């Protein structure tokens, strides 16, 4: 890359999304965070563009943290956390960028699966969960984590009249794919293929591992990218949970006859458990997919559609819907099985009572 191309102002946002609970009471969490302000480590902020309608809006908090050194860069002394009511939490580290753009590929490679940042972010998540305590329903930090890196280049003097994102394709691809070594022409073309511009002096390049934003006033685009990353995490976790639920449901449905000869109440417990799994999964799916609404801004809708394609969210949705339908089918069969077992028990009771009524007259008197 041209050594004269430098970033005079920019930031890299390292985003880590976690699933931490079944749900979070955001109002109660905000109250508990506000009550802790005397500690000087947590403050509240509600910066969300008005055309990004979250239902409800995520709770944004800022936590003091120790600066971390990554490659040749140092993160700022604070981080942001976004809490979503469906039980997700996103931790965002902010790394100031200044200097030759050629250094960004090394930073991107260092950030990829960075164990130090992963451990630090998980520690901060656990710290925040301990703070809000009872506001969290069924807290449990999942082993899954979804990371994403947003390179926001606000100012970058260049002698060429062409926009910077129309040049140096090899270098942008290396940043997006976290690779220092040169990539093939086919890989470069794929990496930079998802690009949008709203004004002549700004652009967004979206890939599955990272995104590069050119220009100023990109808070709304970053909000969309952050939410899409959280949505991907929830889809992955929900898909995994549905796999486990289907295994449990199939096991309960295919129990051998001699294991099913139990009281009716015991038989119904399997159906109840499967129904609960089905309801929990369906509610989480609906809450995640209906949280964000883009009102009156076609550009942001295009950004969301672009990142959704990169994350293959449509494929995840289809897989989850298919598994929910399979779970519903199994529950229906289990309900039919339970009803059949209940009828069999009633028939045997009637047979026994009839037999007793026939035998009683033949019994010797006192």
pLDDT in tens, 116-169: 999 999 999 999 999 898 999 988 898 889 999 999 998 877 656 678 888 889
Give the residue with greater pLDDT, 336 vs 221: 221
Identify which of 292, 19, 21, 54 has the alpha carbon closest to the alpha carbon of residue 132. 21
Q: Global pTM?
A: 0.82
* Confidence check: pLDDT of 268 > 70: no
Q: What is the pLDDT of residue 323?
A: 84
Helix (H) or strand (E) holding 90: strand 88-100
| Mean per-residue pLDDT, 255-277 | 57
Q: What is the rounded CA–CA span in Å between residue 199 and residue 221?
A: 14
Q: Which residue has the higher pLDDT, 290 or 261?
A: 290
Round to the nearest angstrom and report the end-to-end CA distance of the chain: 110
Structure confidence at residue 38 (pLDDT)? 42
343-358 b/e with 16+ CB inside 10 Å = b?
Answer: eeeeeeeeeeeeeeee
**pLDDT at 264 > cutoff 80:** no
Q: State residue 178's pLDDT score.
A: 92
pLDDT at 186: 95
pLDDT value of residue 295:
55
Neighbours of 172 (CB within 10 A): 24
Confidence of residue 258 (pLDDT cuts 50, 70, 90): very low
Average pLDDT, the chain: 83
- Cβ count within 10 A of residue 251: 10
Closest CA to 106 of 171, 150, 167, 187: 171
Higher pLDDT, 286 or 217: 217
CA 230, CA 117: separation in Å to the nearest integer? 17
Residue by residue, DSSP assigns 39-60 as GSSEEEE----TTEEESSPPEE
Q: Which of 24-38, 65-79, 180-194, 324-338 has the weakest average pLDDT?
A: 324-338
Residues 260-285 have a mean pLDDT of 64
For 95-113, the pLDDT digits (tens) are 999 888 888 999 999 999 8
Please report the beta strands in 172-303, taking only residues with DSSP state E, as ranges in sequence order. 195-196, 203-206, 210-214, 292-294
**What are the tokens at 223?**
């909000």
Number of Cβ atoms within 10 Å of the Cβ of 75: 21
Quick check: 126 and 118 in contact, CB under 8 A? no
Distance CA 270, CA 62 (A): 44
- What was the pLDDT predicted at 40? 40
341 and 260 in contact (C-beta within 8 Å)? Answer: yes
């Amino acid at each position: 890359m041209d050594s004269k191309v430098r970033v005079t102002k920019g930031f890299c946002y390292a985003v880590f999304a976690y699933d931490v609970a079944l749900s979070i009471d955001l109002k109660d969490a905000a109250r508990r965070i506000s009550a802790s302000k005397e500690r000087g480590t947590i403050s509240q902020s509600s910066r969300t563009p008005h055309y990004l309608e979250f239902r409800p809006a995520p709770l944004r908090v800022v936590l003091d943290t120790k600066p971390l050194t990554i490659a040749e860069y140092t993160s700022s002394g604070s981080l942001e956390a976004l809490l979503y009511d469906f039980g997700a939490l996103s931790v965002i580290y902010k790394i100031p960028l200044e200097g030759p753009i050629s250094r960004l590929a090394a930073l991107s490679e260092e950030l990829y699966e960075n164990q130090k940042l992963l451990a630090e972010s998980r520690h901060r998540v656990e710290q925040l969960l301990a703070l809000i305590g009872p506001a969290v329903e069924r807290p449990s930090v999942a082993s899954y984590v979804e990371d994403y890196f947003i390179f926001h280049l606000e100012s970058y003097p260049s002698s060429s009249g062409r926009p910077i994102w129309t040049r140096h394709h090899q270098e942008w691809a290396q940043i997006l794919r976290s690779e220092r070594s040169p990539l093939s022409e086919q890989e470069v073309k794929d990496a930079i293929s998802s690009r949008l511009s709203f004004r002549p002096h700004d652009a967004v390049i979206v890939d599955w591992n990272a995104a590069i934003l050119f220009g100023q006033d990109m808070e709304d685009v970053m909000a969309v990218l952050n939410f899409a990353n959280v949505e991907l995490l929830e889809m992955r976790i929900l898909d995994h949970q549905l796999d486990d639920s289907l295994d449990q449901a199939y096991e309960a449905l295919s129990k051998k006859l001699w294991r099913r000869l139990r009281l009716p109440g015991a038989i119904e417990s399997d159906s109840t458990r499967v129904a609960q799994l089905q309801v929990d999964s369906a509610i989480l799916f609906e809450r995640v997919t209906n949280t964000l609404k883009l009102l009156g801004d076609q550009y942001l809708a295009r950004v969301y559609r672009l990142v959704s394609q990169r994350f293959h969210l449509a494929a995840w949705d289809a897989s989850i819907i298919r598994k929910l339908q399979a779970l519903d089918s199994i529950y229906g069969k289990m309900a039919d099985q339970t009803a059949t077992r209940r009828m069999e028990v009633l028939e045997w009771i009637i047979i026994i009572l009839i037999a007793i009524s026939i035998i009683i007259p033949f019994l010797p008197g006192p």
